[in-house]
Amino acid sequence: MAALASLPFVASAALEQLVWRGDRLAAPVAPGLPTGYGQLDAVLPGGGWPVGALTELLVPHAGVGELGLLLPLLGRVPVGRWGVCIAPPGQPYAPALAAAGVPLERLLVVQAATPAHARWAARQALASRSCEVVVLWLAEADMGALRRLQLAAEESATPLILIRPEGVARQPSPAVLRLALAARSGGVEVRILKRRGPLLATPVAVDLPWASGSLRPGQPAPAPNSQPRTSSVHALVRPLPARSGPAGLHAGAQ
């Protein structure tokens, strides 16, 4: 009889392991890629950027710290793999990225003529299965286009991070993670709009080591034998030069 009495407890414990509850973070199929910021990893399912899934960073305007937030991820691209930045609003500034630890020889920058071209480039990068991470600046996309991007990320088991205007926050999205970013002194404020788990009432303040550096746009690149300088978040991109030719694909050259 004692053994029979314990059966409901055993069944309940087993059920607890199988059912995800809305008041706790879900355990994803694969662990996330660490963001490089412990306070942010602590509130993300999987402890970092989702792998094989779509993440959205929503910003009020370019330069609030979105690229600075991704520097640790771009800095960990291993030999034989690529980090890809598609349709950035400015030309990523090679000296600042190198000073922040990004391996330029493993960074690809794609300039796209239209949002459709940018989405196509992202799908091709994911389909290559040679990318550690794909970052896409995307202002325009309907649900069908977003679902195709999500599917491409799933099939390639690659994190795809979309940087989009904050005005799309009320629009539906298949992204498993949506973060709204705002600039703050010394870093960026991260508000979680969507994750698998309970809503987070308060934003997460993330200090960016590059937010108070001395390297600014327009300054000459450091000499090859000089000590690297901590770069400013706002020095990570520079205005795109005027061009009359087609969009291009560039390996991370200075």
Domain boundaries along the sequence of the chain:
37-219
- Average pLDDT (33-62) is 95
pLDDT above 80 (res 28):
no
Structure confidence at residue 92 as a pLDDT band (50, 70, 90) = confident
pLDDT for the residue 49: 96
pLDDT above 90 (res 174):
yes
pLDDT above 90 (res 9):
no
Of 3.40.50.300, 3.40.50.2300, 1.20.120.160, 2.60.40.10, the CATH number of 37-219 is 3.40.50.300
- Average pLDDT (190-213) is 83
Structure confidence at residue 198 as a pLDDT band (50, 70, 90) = confident
- Average pLDDT (115-130) is 96
82/198: higher pLDDT: 82
pLDDT above 50 (res 72):
yes
Across 89-98, 156-165, 182-191, least confident range = 89-98
pLDDT above 70 (res 211):
no
- Average pLDDT (154-173) is 95
pLDDT above 50 (res 185):
yes
pLDDT above 60 (res 206):
yes
Across 22-26, 177-181, 228-232, least confident range = 228-232
- Average pLDDT in the chain: 80
**Structure tokens given for 178:** 């949506």
Structure confidence at residue 209 as a pLDDT band (50, 70, 90) = confident
- Average pLDDT (110-114) is 94
Structure confidence at residue 228 as a pLDDT band (50, 70, 90) = very low
Structure confidence at residue 251 as a pLDDT band (50, 70, 90) = very low
pLDDT above 60 (res 223):
no
165/31: higher pLDDT: 165
pLDDT for the residue 18: 42
